[in-house]
Amino acid sequence: MNIENEAKTSHLAKSYVAETPWLDPDAVPFIQIKGLSKQFDDFSAVDCVDLDIYKRELFTILGGSGCGKSTLLRMLAGFETPSNGQIIIDGVDMSNIPAYDRPVNMMFQSYAVFPHMTVEQNISYGLKKDKLHKNDIISRVSEMLELVQLSELAKRKPHQLSGGQRQRVALARALIKQPKVLLLDEPLAALDKKLREQTQFELMNLQYELGITFVVVTHDQEEAMTLSSRVAVMDAGKFIQVGTPTQVYESPSNRFVADFFGTINFFKATVISTNNQSSTITAELEKTGTQVQGKTDDSFSPGDEVTIAVRPEKISVSQQSPEGDHLTITKGIVEDLAYYGNRSIYRVRSHSGRIIQVSAQNYQRSEQLVLEWDDEVYLSWDSSCNVVLSE
């Protein structure tokens, strides 16, 4: 089952690599957001945002609570009127189109399944509003029920369903009108962990099969990474970085993004020399004087203060002195460790006094811990792992 899922995902991943319309200058965006703002009294929830989303993308807007992501989604659906700016979907300006006439459907965070209607009535609601022929409605609803595996529960009321089943009702109800864009507000937040992983794959497969453009809003960075073709990281009403999950994770544009996605070690450093040809800088880490190298697209000059960021899983930990080229090596003492089974997290106090977090795979099968508290260890990582941030 799992293997099957993984196979499907990797297949998906490949197709996404092939389809990277955001790199194609001639590609026409499916959703265009231009200078979009939303003001509530004195507070601007969304602050002059520009964004292009392409057809068949699974685009995620990621941010903490109150960052404006839900307001943005509600403006796409037509529940909020923008204070400024424009939304164009498939070439049509949405400014004067009310929610009930937009080619967009939404899956709500609370699911908003109508409690007084059966599963069937919930799913057929949108088609009934479109005044479709009765027989069409019946056949499309039964098709949809099959797709989300709810055929046997068609006559149930929502309060007789589990959370996962309610979520599928909400999804089916939004999909049945075959919208041009499906908006999903925290689609997995209300599910428990196991169900969330399973549903995540189901969502991706569904999106791939139906070819509908998905716009997902979430606060969960893991969800954003696994689901999306591209991610927009949002904070205080603005996009901080827009890119593929790997871009955002491996090459964060600033400290906020680096910190938002998982854990990362920050080192203060001073630029010693720059090499414009290979766009590489050499910098000296604060206190230790360790020299590191890093690639950057920004231009720096010697004496500039920078931050060098390194992900915990890029760092190897060993008791023997590591050897190799382009390595940054430092020494420290294991102060804290957490055993997770598949991996262990070490918090190592380096001789400069700072704590460096390391995540190491447990390659060997052993009932004893590989490293113990107060063990002296070498930490090393490849220079290519250094992320240079200007703040």
Partner 1 sequence: MSNSQPNFAVKPKATDYSLPFRDKLWRQFVIGLPYFWLLLFFLAPFGIVLKISFAEPIVALPPFTQLFDFSDSASRWVLATWDNYRFLSEDNLYWISYFKSIKIAAISTLICLLVGYPMAYGIARASPTTRNILLMLVILPFWTSFLLRVYAWMGLLGKNGLLNSLLMNMGLIESPLQMLYTDMAVYLGIVYTYIPFMILPLYATLEKMDTSLHDAAADLGAKPWQIFIDVTLPLSMPGIIAGSLLVFIPAIGEYVIPALLGGLDSLMIGRTLYDEFFVNRDWPLASAVATILLFIVVIPIMLFQRSHQEQE
Count of residues of this chain found to bind partner 1 when the rule CB under 8 A is applied: 26
Under the binding rule (CB under 8 A), the answer on residue 136 touching partner 1 is no
Dump strand ranges (E) for the chain: 31-40, 43-53, 58-62, 84-89, 92-93, 104-107, 181-185, 213-218, 230-235, 238-243, 265-275, 280-285, 291-295, 305-310, 316-318, 327-339, 343-350, 355-361, 376-382, 387-389
Residue 342 Cβ vs partner 1, minimum distance, rounded to whole Å: 28
342-371: contacts with partner 1 (CB under 8 A): none
Binding mask 151-190 for partner 1 (x = CB under 8 A): ----------------------xx--x-------------
Nearest to 73 by CA among 212, 205, 232: 232
Under the binding rule (CB under 8 A), the answer on residue 95 touching partner 1 is no
Under the binding rule (CB under 8 A), the answer on residue 129 touching partner 1 is yes
| Position among 130, 146, 192, 298 found at the interface with partner 1 (CB under 8 A) | 130
236-295: contacts with partner 1 (CB under 8 A): none
The three-class DSSP label of residue 135 is: helix
Under the binding rule (CB under 8 A), the answer on residue 112 touching partner 1 is yes
Under the binding rule (CB under 8 A), the answer on residue 125 touching partner 1 is yes
Q: Which residues pair with 268 in a beta bridge?
A: 307
Nearer to partner 1, 119 or 360 (CB): 119
Nearer to partner 1, 173 or 314 (CB): 173
Nearer to partner 1, 79 or 339 (CB): 79
Under the binding rule (CB under 8 A), the answer on residue 98 touching partner 1 is yes
How far, in Å, CA of 360 to CA of 368, rounded?
Answer: 15
Residue 352: which residues within 8 A CB-CB, separation 6 or more?
Answer: 285, 286, 287, 288, 330
How far, in Å, CA of 328 to CA of 387, rounded?
Answer: 13
What DSSP character marks residue 97?
-
Nearer to partner 1, 154 or 327 (CB): 154
Pair of tokens at residue 360: 């190491």
Q: Which stretch binds partner 1 (CB under 8 A): 26-34, 122-130, 212-220, 352-360?
A: 122-130
Residue 62 Cβ vs partner 1, minimum distance, rounded to whole Å: 21
Pair of tokens at residue 39: 């003001």
Q: Which helix (DSSP H) or strand (DSSP E) does residue 144 occupy?
A: helix 134-147
Under the binding rule (CB under 8 A), the answer on residue 40 touching partner 1 is no
| Position among 105, 167, 218, 380 found at the interface with partner 1 (CB under 8 A) | 105
Under the binding rule (CB under 8 A), the answer on residue 104 touching partner 1 is yes
| Position among 4, 41, 116, 278 found at the interface with partner 1 (CB under 8 A) | 116
**Per-residue CA distances from 9 to 128, 164, 172, 185, 227 (Å):** 35, 21, 22, 22, 10
55-84: contacts with partner 1 (CB under 8 A): 74, 77-79
Under the binding rule (CB under 8 A), the answer on residue 100 touching partner 1 is yes
- For 381, counting Cβ atoms within 10 Å of its Cβ (0-12 exposed, 13-18 middle, 19+ buried), the class is buried
* Sign of the alpha-carbon dihedral angle for 315, 318, 324, 326: positive
Under the binding rule (CB under 8 A), the answer on residue 29 touching partner 1 is no
Q: Which stretch binds partner 1 (CB under 8 A): 50-58, 109-117, 143-151, 344-352?
A: 109-117
The three-class DSSP label of residue 271 is: strand
How far, in Å, CA of 92 to CA of 273, rounded?
Answer: 51
Residue 54 Cβ vs partner 1, minimum distance, rounded to whole Å: 23
Residue 130 Cβ vs partner 1, minimum distance, rounded to whole Å: 6
Residues at the site binding partner 1, with contacts judged by CB under 8 A: 74, 77-79, 98-101, 104-106, 108-110, 112-116, 125-126, 129-130, 173-174, 177
